[in-house]
Structure 1
């Protein structure tokens, strides 16, 4: 039987899918250097598609948080259905534009059930 928070995670995904847009989350893993050959293999890139909403920060948020720079955006991503959790070194692609994830990365996770990730992104 699904818990209340499982149902909320599904509802968040449905709402973001309806009012948001597809977002690609890209992770890159560097190949390990081989000192014997003096080379490293090509980096490995993995991607997953998520549903997200890209928003502007409010004036109040700029006043309260000195880490927000002009041009930064807030990206809310539904947690339901993700293969892996977004991390600070990942990139996100929204509407053909590539953004870096900068701290803080927030997880809305009541009772241990991830519902939403709120990212600060910068291009």
Structure 2
């Protein structure tokens, strides 16, 4: 059964790559303790490129979810090939803008195989 969902994840990635666009997901890695200074050394920002589709929320979604604000977008990202799973502390860059990820972060994960992440993003 997992093989079926692996192929489904491949199809999702292929379709999103064809009809979507590249999305940069970045996160900050904390620095390490520096014994010479007695503090933390500067951290680093790491980035991965994913394939995603940026969509508007529908009127029905606004009615059903009071956490959606005007200007928020829905970002669907293919799960296959990601180095790490997007989290609420990450930032995404798409269409020349940087967006914060707002809860909830949804994962389409049938039978333990991640297929797609659906994010609510706000600039």
Coarse TM-score class (shorter-chain normalised): over 0.9
* Cα 1:35/1:60, change in 2 over 3 Å: farther
CA distance in 1, matches of 2:101, 2:35: 32
**Aligned residue in 2 for 1:27:** 27
Any gaps of 5 or more consecutive residues in structure 1? none
**Aligned residue in 2 for 1:108:** 108
TM-score by length of 1: 0.92
TM-score by length of 2: 0.92
Secondary structure class of the residue paired with 1:14: helix
**Aligned residue in 1 for 2:81:** 81
Are positions 1:99 and 2:106 aligned together?
no
**Aligned residue in 2 for 1:37:** 37
Shift of the alpha carbon at 1:41? 1.5
1:21-46 deviation per Cα after TM superposition (whole angstroms, max 9, x unaligned):
00000011232566873543112111
Secondary structure class of the residue paired with 1:8: helix
Any gaps of 5 or more consecutive residues in structure 2? none
Q: CA RMSD in A?
A: 1.6
Which runs of 4 or more aligned residues in structure 1 lie more than 3 Å from their structure 2 counterparts after TM superposition?
32-36
Are positions 1:14 and 2:6 aligned together?
no
